[in-house]
Structure 1
Amino acid sequence: MDVRRLSLDDLPACTDLAISRDWGAEEHKWRLLFAVGEVYGLDAPDGDGLASTTVLVRYGLDSAVASMVLTARRYERQGLAGRVMRHVLDQAGDRIVSLHATALGRPLYERLGFETVGRVDSCRGLFRGEPSGATRAATDADLDPIVELDAEVFQTDRAPLLRRMPAFHERLRVLERDGRIAGYGGAWRNGDYLVIGPVVAQDVDQARALIGDLATGWGVPVRLDLDTRQEELTAWARANGVDQGFPNALMVRGGRLPGDRSRLFTPFMVALG
């Protein structure tokens, strides 16, 4: 049984595995991961779907993100997740690799050389805040400046991912200062809730403005994946109804994450950083 590169033909098996682990189907998200990343898996020995999966998304020549580490319950504790993860790390080569880990997954990643460098609280709830009026809807002409701003903040090339935002997101907004884009953010549907991410801004006031304008008017719960070091923003989100959360550890292998992480207020999604 060898680890193999999966294709879109394997999407139903991926969503079936995710549903079986209570992650939800998340087909919209899986399709993006197939488009921008490399999806790997092990076929189940009994012939029934996939036994395990992992996704690798490369950014430029120096960094990558791993995600969607899933194993079928009937194959737990047989080393399959570690096997697929080691294959993914081999593919990543010398890149710095990051991931978000639940408490259940942390021991595996620590054995593979990952270190915890931060914590993200994934919070959900009906947003009760008001729109700021300080942002505007993004246009096609804004995409190049967004890519340039993102490269400045992350110090790596995420252009292939960002150029898919207009098709992937249901709402995309920018904030301008002195005639230049100073921040951007997006909102996308994931099942019965709305994910707010990414949000990149110069400071917490800009982040609140973007989140407020992205999160209002939907009538469904929103999800904010908030770095716990952003205490002011976390307190604001909880005061506005987004207060039911669970923790994820931000873990890194191979070096220090590049860029200015203080300007990243919510990730694109935890699967993509």
Structure 2
Amino acid sequence: MEMRRLTPDELDDCVRLAKSREWLPERRKWALLFEAGEVYGLLLGGTLVSTTVLTRYGAGYGVISMVLTDPAHARQGLARRLMEYVLEQADGLVLSLTATPNGRPLYERLGFETVGEVTSHVGVFAGEPSGVSRAATAADLEPILALDRELFEADRGVLLRRLPDLHDPLRVIERDGRVAAFGGVWDTGDQLVGGPVVTRDPEAAMALLADLLAGTAKPVRLDLDTRQTEVCAWAEAHGVQPGFSTKLMVRGGALPGVRPSLVTSYNVALG
């Protein structure tokens, strides 16, 4: 048995493992995780059978994701061993993750506590653009980073600097000449994932989402904290219906961020 940090050359092995669990392959997302995070693997006889990803945001906070084990090796304690190894690498960080019902007992045993719930809303968006937002420009990047540091309360710059390359469209709302909200859409091929959407009020969030999603024929997925009651109701009224839910869990301290302002995550693997 070998546990270690994987290299980008092993991306295909991660995709294969995801497919074995009937997850979408999402090569683009795996590539971003290798670039922005730390991808760890457990190998048996040289074959990758389990993964966990740690993405650090500054010196105090990180997100755990992509906890996968080959079904042929399920229920052998491999995911727990790898998680314990990754927790050692995290070295005292406050950590969060989103947990399915199957994964939640493991995370509880490892010291994670439930602090919220995220529901994935999926459907074809049926609505008109608000006209309130505008397309982001290169000059907006630093104001976006500043707003996110204030409201996320940790530094996601390693990800947000990739927004113009990976999110199309990327839009902002200005108030009094300053960026007051920003949001993007991630195209996975099969659907559009809305996020991140960061704003000071739900009205701006809904206006921004309407401009991001109007006119697309692809299914849309919005991973919304259930405490975002106004945005959740708005999504349902526009054809994006609630589906499966996961628990938002944290270990090692309080979850950072002004949560009402963090309408959707970058994606659930990255916080």
**What amino acid is aligned across from residue 192 of structure 1 in structure 2?**
D
Match of 2:15 in 1: 15
C-alpha distance after superposition, 1:111-139 (max 9, x if no partner):
00000000000111000011110000101
C-alpha distance after superposition, 1:96-117 (max 9, x if no partner):
0000010110000000000000
What secondary structure, in the 3-state scheme, does the structure 2 residue paired with 1:82 have?
A: helix
Match of 1:255 in 2: 253
Equivalent-residue separation in structure 2 for 1:203 and 1:50 (angstroms): 44
Give 1:90 deviation, angstroms: 0.8
Equivalent-residue separation in structure 2 for 1:144 and 1:106 (angstroms): 37
2:2–2:44 contact (8 Å) kept in structure 1: no
Q: Does 1:82 align with 2:80?
A: yes
- Unaligned ranges ≥5, structure 2: none
Q: Does 1:264 align with 2:262?
A: yes
Equivalent-residue separation in structure 2 for 1:131 and 1:215 (angstroms): 8
What secondary structure, in the 3-state scheme, does the structure 2 residue paired with 1:150 have?
A: helix
Give 1:217 deviation, angstroms: 2.1
Match of 1:229 in 2: 227
What secondary structure, in the 3-state scheme, does the structure 2 residue paired with 1:100 have?
A: strand
Equivalent-residue separation in structure 2 for 1:88 and 1:215 (angstroms): 37
Match of 2:24 in 1: 24
Equivalent-residue separation in structure 1 for 2:10 and 2:156 (angstroms): 25
**What amino acid is aligned across from residue 109 of structure 2 in structure 1?**
R
Match of 2:155 in 1: 157
Equivalent-residue separation in structure 1 for 2:52 and 2:60 (angstroms): 20
Work out which of the residue numbers 182, 186, 190 in structure 2 matches 1:184. 182
What secondary structure, in the 3-state scheme, does the structure 2 residue paired with 1:151 have?
A: helix
- Unaligned ranges ≥5, structure 1: none
Q: Does 1:128 align with 2:126?
A: yes
Match of 2:195 in 1: 197
What secondary structure, in the 3-state scheme, does the structure 2 residue paired with 1:218 have?
A: coil
Equivalent-residue separation in structure 2 for 1:201 and 1:15 (angstroms): 33
Give 1:259 deviation, angstroms: 2.5
Q: Which residues of 2 match residues 22-171 of structure 1 at below 5 A?
A: 22-45=22-45, 47=46, 49-171=47-169
Q: Percent identity?
A: 59
C-alpha distance after superposition, 1:47-105 (max 9, x if no partner):
5x421000000000110000000000010011111111111111111110000010110
TM-score under structure 1 length normalisation: 0.97
C-alpha distance after superposition, 1:231-272 (max 9, x if no partner):
111111011111041001000000001221110000000111
2:121–2:222 contact (8 Å) kept in structure 1: yes
**What amino acid is aligned across from residue 111 of structure 2 in structure 1?**
G
**What amino acid is aligned across from residue 172 of structure 1 in structure 2?**
L
Q: Does 1:217 align with 2:215?
A: yes
2:125–2:216 contact (8 Å) kept in structure 1: no
What secondary structure, in the 3-state scheme, does the structure 2 residue paired with 1:41 have?
A: strand
